[in-house]
């Protein structure tokens, strides 16, 4: 596996720092990883994106993780989720030269999950939302109605959106599966490996953009 630092360019002119991991063998999928809330210490090295950034390339999946605007070396300031959609699209742009023709997974944790669920880019094969607070369901309406697959990994004891509450929010969503991470709270200590296993399994089931009708 090779890892390199890359710079993302957003549509509104910001440069964001990112890291790209390319497996040594032939990749069969790619993933963009979005981190938790910037104002509560979230970075691309937080536990979930950090674990996925190791586990996915080990399974021959290209992975790109990045810092949202205003985090560490990324330009700009926190925008409460809405301008951060452009950051996710910039990450897709950066990985696409490698990922074109492969299934592309958007995977986010917490704030990163919510933000990813607002991005209905046609290049995406599916969404993995880990512990999503589902704070603005209206902003997720396009993805909610989209026929592409969505997997929500909701901790059993999540402090911000427990499984029963999450089920109510996504009851009308299309092509959506909710799995409970047993024994976990929002921070997933001791349970992240389970999420990584689900991420690889879910990615294997995703269609490439060229194979979708």
Overall average pLDDT of the 9-22 stretch: 98
Q: Does pLDDT of 100 surpass 90?
A: yes
Report residue 14: phi and psi, to 5°: -100, 150
Architecture, CATH, for domain 2-211: 3-Layer(aba) Sandwich (3.40)
Mean predicted lDDT score pLDDT of the chain: 96
The percent of residues in the chain predicted with pLDDT above 90, rounded, is 95
Q: Does pLDDT of 212 surpass 80?
A: no
> What pLDDT was estimated at residue 1?
82
Report how far residue 45's alpha carbon sits from residue 47's, in angstroms, rounded to the nearest whole number: 6
Q: Does pLDDT of 210 surpass 80?
A: no
158-186 pLDDT, tens digit each: 999 999 999 999 999 999 999 999 999 99
Q: Does pLDDT of 57 surpass 70?
A: yes
Q: Does pLDDT of 213 surpass 80?
A: no
Confidence of residue 207 (pLDDT cuts 50, 70, 90): confident
182-206 pLDDT, tens digit each: 999 999 999 999 999 999 999 999 9
* Contacts for 171 with CB less than 8 Å, ≥ 6 apart: none
Strand order in the sheet with 61-66: 2-9, 15-22, 61-66, 29-34, 104-109, 126-130, 150-155, 176-181
Overall average pLDDT of the 75-84 stretch: 96
Q: Does pLDDT of 58 surpass 70?
A: yes
Q: Where are the domains of the chain?
A: 2-211
Contact yes or no for 83/69 (Cβ under 8 A): yes
21: which 2 tokens? 């991991």
Contact yes or no for 111/82 (Cβ under 8 A): no
């Amino acid at each position: 596996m090779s890892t390199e630092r890359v710079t993302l360019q957003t549509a509104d002119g910001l440069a964001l720092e990112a890291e790209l991991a390319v497996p040594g063998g032939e990749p069969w999928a790619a993933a963009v990883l979005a981190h938790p809330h910037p104002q509560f210490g979230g970075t691309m090295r937080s536990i979930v994106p950090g674990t996925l950034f190791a586990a996915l390339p080990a399974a021959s999946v290209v992975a790109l993780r990045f810092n949202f605007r205003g985090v560490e070396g990324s330009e700009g300031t926190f925008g409460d989720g809405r301008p951060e959609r452009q950051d996710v699209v910039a990450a897709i742009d950066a990985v696409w030269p490698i990922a074109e023709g492969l299934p592309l997974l958007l995977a986010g944790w917490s704030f990163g999950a919510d933000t990813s669920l607002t991005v209905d880019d046609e290049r995406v094969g599916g969404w993995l939302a880990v512990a999503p607070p589902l704070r603005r369901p209206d902003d997720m309406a396009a993805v909610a109605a989209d026929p592409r697959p969505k997997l929500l990994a909701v901790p059993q004891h999540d402090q911000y959106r427990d499984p029963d509450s999450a089920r109510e929010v996504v009851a009308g969503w299309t092509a959506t599966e909710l799995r409970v991470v047993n024994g976990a709270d929002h921070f997933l200590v001791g349970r992240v490996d389970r999420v990584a296993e689900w991420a690889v399994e879910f990615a294997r089931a995703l269609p490439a953009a060229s194979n979708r009708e």
